[in-house]
Structure 1
């Protein structure tokens, strides 16, 4: 088993970071937008342990009645309370059925797919948490450990994920770390001589354990060795309720980095992780009869579990649904570590372990109440992908939207554009690049090309609209001017009966004929303008041929106006000469 000291990836780190070569890429800073709608509730299963011989000898009766696999009744002094959970595991169920019925396999598949998942056991001391999570700690800590039917969720999960990784197409890299929280201090179970570790926070990584040893696991034997080493170094003690009580919260972390080559030839990486948490049990000092150092341990255990209860209550209280209540994650090391599992981006399974003995009915009720609140907690699982893969997905989405916009503009400018040349992508500078970089370069080049083309199309349309409206205004002004000239000169010629006959004939016949022709031409232009307006509207692009036609009409119209003004001057000269002769 290859070991090395390094900082483990955090749930809030930037995926794909390679500043530290030994640092496994982290997981959710650049996660894609594959979030499950509305979130996912924490799955809660209840496991009822059999009563011990000591409890039976003391005359304890069973305070729990299981109605069906999701419903139980808790018999208290003067009442019976009903509880409903995702799954209820009765006393006679074995370890293999616990693994199957709680859905651990589904969570592990999610981890291999690139999600985070957390499995933790909660309950009073002696309720069977460690047995459920690990099996026999003493046997797991031996160098000659061999798997058997008493194995708990953790060793069974190790076997399951290695079988699944061998049957999948991806290439997997596995890393693992193991630490405990003892007396509110973090200790590295793989390197206990390293002293107390610190739980840090930053915006990029969230909460993480600083300088924790994480090891490469190249085979299932390496992961079993991590489990053996951690179990040997974990704090445990003996008191009245449990001869081998776990005195710390233990956390086994496993990271799954999967890599597969896409059809385009670039590598796609996903980053999943699994947390297996065996909590220390809550204890009543009167029952455990703790003293000295164990008394301090008990107080710290109860304090951290009390804070965990506050976190569960804050997140699970329905009156705060949709609001953002204060959640006291920072009040203990345990809740810092569980921040992503409770109300975060991880899928979570809580196994509430309880005793059926009537003498522990208060502790059992407390555990069931916390478990009920935990079911109301909503997590939002996120798929953790490589930062470059995330960039490629975003570029593909942007290319799609730009193509839609481009198609819309093409449709509007069909008359003028007459079809656009196919997009060309420059691959000249990508020969020495990796397939992933080439893919990014191709998408970026296509995005830039579409942006430039759309910008040119917009500018062309705006210029065409400006020219069209300008010509329409000038033609309208000329039309008004011609109407004024017609009214002035034709009308004056008809009223002046004392003018010479040549002047009257020249003025009346010529002007009337000219104005008649101009009027026909103006009516034709007006009809053309109406057709153009009906066809293109006020905000639509006009064909350049239509623009040229309007320019030609405009020139002819100005020429006719000039001729009319020239004839006006000739008419005035004739009138003046005729008056002088008289």
Structure 2
């Protein structure tokens, strides 16, 4: 009874108060004396599975119930890769095992905060890449096979600030990263099946057929965003040549299949989700428009972001241009550790939608997640806004670690362990990968220097938790008719033949509809051109006729005006000539002497005319 009373009680889990160093995370007492337990069991260690360091370095006398699994149920876990950043003088506290899949750490100085960190520790990984490994090998091992499998996958980079996470994903102008190589790989695989218009779109986690007006609107959005993107034509061609020289991507032609590719880009900054590919609104005033945070929702198990802009792309160059545009809009700042440190978690998603002529649609999503660097506030010396950013980053990464820890233990205790997805926006967005519904691959980056020893231990502990997760693959339900089990073989065969005939008729009708639409559009275009030509000819003919009539009418009016003018001029001329003649006569009369004769005598003469001789006699 005394022994049972003195036994240590099980402590409650808490992430605010540290656990006693004498008890590990599974509440098993640690030995007080440091012993190298691995030297004595090398010969008995025959397991070649590098997924767990305990299975690799312990004897075969373990629990058979945990080592033997049912062969009918396939279980997989996330792949965790380690990449060591090349440094000029690497610390001797980091060494690799003989097989190259276990990292051995031991503190070489007294700078560690406690005795536990000074102990030698072993961390197992799927693969470990030292500083001599290039971007080509990283892609071929970590990402390339997952794209060929055509399954939804999340590629996550995790590590301390300045350890090379963003470089692994994006690379530089000469050495392409994982994302540019993945985009080139995806578009090369589906080169012959690419559809020219966005007829399918993933809306609220469901594939939706777009009408013609919606398709036109999506194409306009794509054009507007591409016009805002920087020009990377020469740079992309150089990267494309480098990628082609490093890899041999094959095109996979699938008959009766149309492929449409969409991309989206978001960042999680201070626990708020922002769209990095949104079209900026028109601002009358100067200054940048305030960003509007988005909301993460779930629809029938599908996680999506409300109001997120997804852009239809037709080439790897367009996708890379949108990626560069999102990079320009993301939040970066300078710290004492990294001069260009990302202050947010960025997720770049590539959705591949397939449409088969039989009517079946499939979806395959590739998420590339660039986590913000984990850092100690005391070492970085951040204050003010940088301090708030660091706290939110560390909180979200801690929640991610809690989710991974809960996922690794929920397989054994599903009733007691609850995965806290809703405690962080990052875990809410990545919960499908953390639950095993999507493939998960984590690339952990570490800077092997002595001053980052404790930060690297936190990163490696995080990676070891992820490495111990085992997901059971969800059972894929086959499509079947409701009453198929009650039908005999003949009826089933006839039913299948009937379904096949209907599918063929459906394909033929769709092709006929497409052909009729094309013919109708062509006829309408020809008719429009014909009508335009007829209208133009008719208008020109009317112009010629009206011009001729106007000229004739003008000539007639001019002739009539000339005749009227001549007539008026002649009448005026005659009238003035008569007046002139009258005036001349009056002048002559005035000049004549007979004007002195009395008018009375003239009257008499008129009454009694006399001869001139008589007149002289009277005088």
TM-score by length of 1: 0.56
1:229 aligns with 2:325: yes
In 1, Cα distance between equivalents of 2:396 and 2:438: 21
Q: CA deviation at 1:245?
A: 0.5
For the 8 Å contact 2:101–2:124, the answer to whether it is kept is: yes
Q: How does 1:478-493 map to 2 (within 5 A)?
A: none
In 2, Cα distance between equivalents of 1:276 and 1:218: 19
Q: Which residue of 2 aligns with 1:63?
A: 93
Question: Bigger radius of gyration, 1 or 2?
Answer: 2
For the 8 Å contact 1:252–1:275, the answer to whether it is kept is: yes
Q: Which residue of 2 aligns with 1:240?
A: 336
| 1:235-294 C-alpha deviation (Å, 9 max, x unpaired) | 111111001111110000111112344xxxx24332111000000001111111111211
Q: Which residue of 1 aligns with 2:266?
A: 179
Residues 1:197 and 1:401: Cα distance change in structure 2 (over 3 Å): farther
1:121 aligns with 2:121: no
For the 8 Å contact 1:176–1:255, the answer to whether it is kept is: yes
Q: CA deviation at 1:109?
A: 1.8
1:280 aligns with 2:367: no
Residues 1:378 and 1:430: Cα distance change in structure 2 (over 3 Å): same
Residue 131 of structure 1 aligns to a residue in which SS?
helix
For the 8 Å contact 2:82–2:128, the answer to whether it is kept is: yes
Q: How does 1:243-392 map to 2 (within 5 A)?
A: 243-261=339-357, 266-317=358-409, 320=412, 325-380=417-472
Q: Which residue of 2 aligns with 1:402?
A: 487
Aligned partner (choices 276, 279, 282) of residue 189 of structure 1? 276
Q: CA deviation at 1:197?
A: 3.0
Q: CA deviation at 1:201?
A: 2.5
Residues 1:62 and 1:169: Cα distance change in structure 2 (over 3 Å): same
For the 8 Å contact 1:343–1:380, the answer to whether it is kept is: no
| 1:133-152 C-alpha deviation (Å, 9 max, x unpaired) | 1114xx5xxxxxxxx3x211
In 1, Cα distance between equivalents of 2:434 and 2:155: 11
In 2, Cα distance between equivalents of 1:289 and 1:280: 17
Q: CA deviation at 1:101?
A: 2.6
Q: Which residue of 2 aligns with 1:515?
A: none
Residue 291 of structure 1 aligns to a residue in which SS?
coil
| 1:57-105 C-alpha deviation (Å, 9 max, x unpaired) | xxx7332101233122111254221121110011111111111232x11
Residue 191 of structure 1 aligns to a residue in which SS?
coil
Q: CA deviation at 1:131?
A: 0.8
Q: How does 1:506-545 map to 2 (within 5 A)?
A: none
In 2, Cα distance between equivalents of 1:296 and 1:317: 32
Aligned partner (choices 313, 316, 329) of residue 220 of structure 1? 316
| 1:289-311 C-alpha deviation (Å, 9 max, x unpaired) | 11121111111111111111111
TM-score by length of 2: 0.53
Q: Which residue of 2 aligns with 1:108?
A: 147
1:157 aligns with 2:182: yes
Q: Which residue of 2 aligns with 1:169?
A: 253
Q: CA deviation at 1:364?
A: 1.1
For the 8 Å contact 1:344–1:379, the answer to whether it is kept is: yes
Q: Which residue of 1 aligns with 2:130?
A: 90
In 2, Cα distance between equivalents of 1:424 and 1:165: 30
Unaligned runs of 5+ in 1: 1-35, 140-147, 385-389, 408-420, 439-582
Q: CA deviation at 1:50?
A: 1.8
In 1, Cα distance between equivalents of 2:449 and 2:507: 63
| 1:146-177 C-alpha deviation (Å, 9 max, x unpaired) | xx3x2111111111111222311233110110
Q: CA deviation at 1:431?
A: 10
In 1, Cα distance between equivalents of 2:371 and 2:310: 21
Residues 1:344 and 1:183: Cα distance change in structure 2 (over 3 Å): same
